[in-house]
Amino acid sequence: MPQVKIGVLISGSGTNLQSLIDNIENGKINGRITVVISNRKDAYGLNRARQKNIAAVYIRQKDYDSFEKFNDAIIDELKSHGVELVVLAGYLKILTPRFIEEFRNRIINIHPSLIPAFCGKGFYGIKVHEEAINYGVKLSGATVHFVDEKADTGPIIIQEAVEVSYEDTAEALQQKVLKIEHKILPLAVKYYCGGKIQISGRKVKIKE
């Protein structure tokens, strides 16, 4: 099978991006990252891309008349690099309906909770873990899912749990969950690039 061309969207340090790069380099993913795009000029993830000679592009929302045109610019950039799979790896912007339609069932996101808990609008970063700690849950974790028109509502590909101890702070839980993220995001991308994912309504089957 030919390598799947991957575009990664980031807003921050890019540790999940790094996990993808590492898994591609060691041959576990039959894919190639052709472009990394960020809405933040100082996102360290852009440096991670440049260090590997991957196209690193900063697209600033303020340069466009509307949020729709900003998203259209990202779509155009992805298409110019032949992207077949879009991975949101800590990208903190909502995608427009046109974006979703252009890459239907070809956009994967990682979320730091066991969806449908602690997800949706406003749930990102440390806030997710603060809410989990305050609620007193005994389990949290991470979810990789396809992206649809609403926040964190697309079909779930993989979930993995971690135990939440009485002593855990939001920061401690965040570090626990991050380890899970670095494991299951590359795994989901591996399944996609290997043609192993089958979607039926809300259900996702990983084919043997």
Catalytic residue, chosen from 111, 129, 145, 182, is 111
Contact 86, 103 (CB under 8 A): yes
Taking each helix axis from N to C end, the angle separating 170-193 and 15-25, rounded to the nearest 10 degrees, works out to: 40
For the question of residue 111 being annotated catalytic, the response is: yes
DSSP codes joined into one string, 108-156: EEEESS-TTSS-STT--THHHHHHHHHHT-SEEEEEEEE--SSTT-SPE
68 Cβ contact list (under 8 Å, min separation 6): 96, 98
Position of tokens 């970063």?
125
The residues annotated with a catalytic role in the active site are 111
